[in-house]
Structure formats: structure tokens, C-alpha cells
Amino acid sequence: MPQPQDRKRLYFFVGCLYFLAVILAVRAAFELESGPTDLLIRLMVPLMMARTCAVDARLMGKPIHLLRQWHILLAWPVALPICLVRSRGWRGLGLLVVHLIAVLVVIAIVLLARVTWIHLAHGKITL
């Protein structure tokens, strides 16, 4: 049965995924050195995906058993679309596509900021 705070949790987890996308894009755009942060981010993405699927499924009235959540954690690129179609029908796949496009737009904005920063640093653009 959906809990009243499930919708807030869902928004929180989706927001965390966007935040992780921004961090990954910034690290890639500015060519920061690898370190423990990279490992932490790469572990957080599947964890957030699994939690997002679990909360979304519970919100839609089709909860995922705790043992099945491990499958999502380990195989999230395949499991995420399956979970969304299972809980929301084909509309869930459309929702996934919309969020993928939004993440790509966020990454493009970060990369555009990087290019602008390079041009400003070399005096090719004046304000």
C-alpha cells in the first residue's frame, strides 16, 4: 500500500539522480582527477535507480519484494525499463525517455558552460 511520503521520496530520488548526472558531467567536462569520489558516484547511481524503482512501484500499488530489489541494483540498465513498464505500463517507458532527454540536456548545459569557460579564459569571448 502506498505511503503518503512515497511521492516525496520518489521526487527526492529522481532529484538525486539529476544531481549525480550534474556531478558526473562536471567531473568529465573539467577533466578532474579520478579518486574515491568517482567510485562513490558510480556506486550511488545504481543504488538510486533501485530505490527509485522500488518507491515508484510501491506508489503505483505494485510493490517490489526486497530480494527483487537486489536484481535491480545489479542489472539496473535492463531492470529499470522493465520495472517502469511493470508498474506504469507503456507510459512508464515514455517517462524514462523524457527523463533521459532531460539528463542529456543537463549534461549539454554543463559542457556548454565548460566551452564558454575555456573561451573566456583564453580571451576569445569578452563580456
pLDDT bucket at 99, cuts 50 / 70 / 90:
very high
Q: Answer yes or no: is pLDDT of 97 > 90.
A: yes
Q: Give pTM, 2 decimals.
A: 0.78
Angle among Cα 58, 11, 7 to the nearest 5 degrees reads 40
DSSP state of 5: T
Helices (H), the chain: 6-29, 36-59, 66-74, 76-88, 90-121
Q: What is the pLDDT of residues 9-57, one digit of tens each?
A: 889 989 999 998 888 888 887 777 777 888 888 889 889 888 889 889 8
d(CA 105, CA 42): 20
Give pLDDT, residue 104. Answer: 92
Give pLDDT, residue 65. Answer: 85
Give pLDDT, residue 125. Answer: 63
Phi, psi of 20 (to 5 degrees): -65, -35
